[in-house]
Amino acid sequence: MAAADATAGIAFSADYPRLRLMFDGLMRYYHEALSETACFTTHTEDVAQVRQIMRERESVVRSLLGVLELIK
């Protein structure tokens, strides 16, 4: 952002609330996907694998939100 022109910073600040909602929705999706997987299979290994993948993805989104929060 420091290297961008002033309009980029203003545009990002204006778009941040929308981006935040989208990322929150993405994290909700990860939780729902885990619940759905647990409903459709009794294979504990599969559920554990999906749980790990969803946690990793959620962690990435949380990290991204942390960075976005710093620059907004």
The pLDDT tens digits for 6-65 are 787 788 888 889 999 999 999 999 888 877 777 777 788 888 888 899 899 999 999 999
pLDDT score at 53: 92
pLDDT score at 23: 93
Q: How many CB atoms lie within 10 A of CB 54?
A: 19
User: Model confidence at 4, in pLDDT bands (50, 70, 90)?
Assistant: low
pLDDT score at 1: 53
- Nearest in space to 20 (alpha carbons), one of 9, 32, 30, 12: 12
pLDDT score at 50: 86
**SS3 of 3, please?**
coil
**Please, is 10 exposed, middle or buried when counting C-beta atoms within 10 Å of its C-beta (0-12, 13-18, 19+)?**
exposed
